[in-house]
Chain A
């Protein structure tokens, strides 16, 4: 059993490596931002300035976030497989550090996207008196679960043929309960009502369960 400081050092090394790689290539970030801008502008133009009902707005917001995540997060492991560095990580990195390093990287990437997406969404859809912080809080909570599930499914699909579609097909059923709950909660906040405790706890619980299950399953996935 390795000391905790070794695991922490290993996680930060994986995280730093991914950030340096991303800052020097902008691959995932540019994909995510381009997807968000394209989706927002096409939806906004097709609705012609009409502001949809809160629950429809919430569904649109989460659909954009889900598909932008599908476009960008599969790269977390696919890039390693393409460059041949997946083998290097298997030989030299601690498996749990790979999982948590990639998970934190995906979450931070999604958090950055949320910070860009939310003001643009409010602007494009003319949302009056938005409750920015509760909305951002729900988006971040949902992103934690999405990052946990997508890290596991990205690792599963990294070496498969047709991995982009496989990644989405594997991720969607696993994320569906959280997805529906996040849409309901976001709709409630957009209706200027306080978020319900039950739904908020469900989102938090789902994120914790997804991270725990991902950590337990990753060693089997990684060593086979």
Chain B
């Protein structure tokens, strides 16, 4: 897998968030996007996920040598978690990630869901409604969803937010393990512990 940014810029009205971004990251590498609040870190991840269009320039995503031109083509290869990613309050944690994995077209069995929840220490909360989860537990559930779907590209926006020290260590271990397995990871963060994994850094002004 590879992601290439070619002269990517984003403007909202007259305000330019960023311009002329160029880089290429491949499987097993980690791109870290840093910058002050409002600099466009989350926007850049959404552009890479093809949820937003750049004002100019191009984002190329390749699986082996094949160029994935459209949103529908790249969707199965990408998983994004961000503070915006909400779950369904009327469903349990296990139902939430199980149904979202099926909505992706996958076929997880009960053991897959348990394993994903166990990896983030939420196995005992599998049958609890989401309305009873704390913000830290919801952040862990986002990582459980990403682990369950396990796409080759992980886009992580503020991955350590709302997590306690155990949760942060668990997420960092998960990131390290996936990089070793050859996943491509792009993170938007200002945390030094995540920057340590960077193969490339884009520092937004």
Interface residues of A (CB under 8 A from B): 2, 6-7, 9-10, 12-14, 16-17, 20-21, 24-25, 83-85, 87-95, 97-98, 219, 223
Contacts and interface: CB of A to CB of B under 8 A. Distances in A.
A22 B90 CA distance: 9
B87 interface: yes
21 contacts: A6-B106, A9-B107, A13-B102, A17-B91, A17-B99, A20-B90, A20-B95, A21-B88, A21-B90, A24-B91, A84-B84, A84-B86, A88-B87, A91-B51, A91-B80, A92-B100, A92-B104, A93-B100, A94-B75, A94-B104, A223-B71
B85 to A, nearest CB: 5
Given A17-B88, A95-B71, 9 more contacts: A2-B76, A2-B105, A13-B103, A16-B99, A17-B99, A17-B103, A85-B88, A91-B49, A93-B103
B99 A94 contact: no
Contacts, number: 78
A6 B75 CA distance: 13
A88 B100 contact: yes
Contacts of A98: 103
B132 to A, nearest CB: 14
Contacts of B100: 13, 88, 92-93
Contacts of A20: 90-91, 95
B45 to A, nearest CB: 11
Nearest to A83: B86
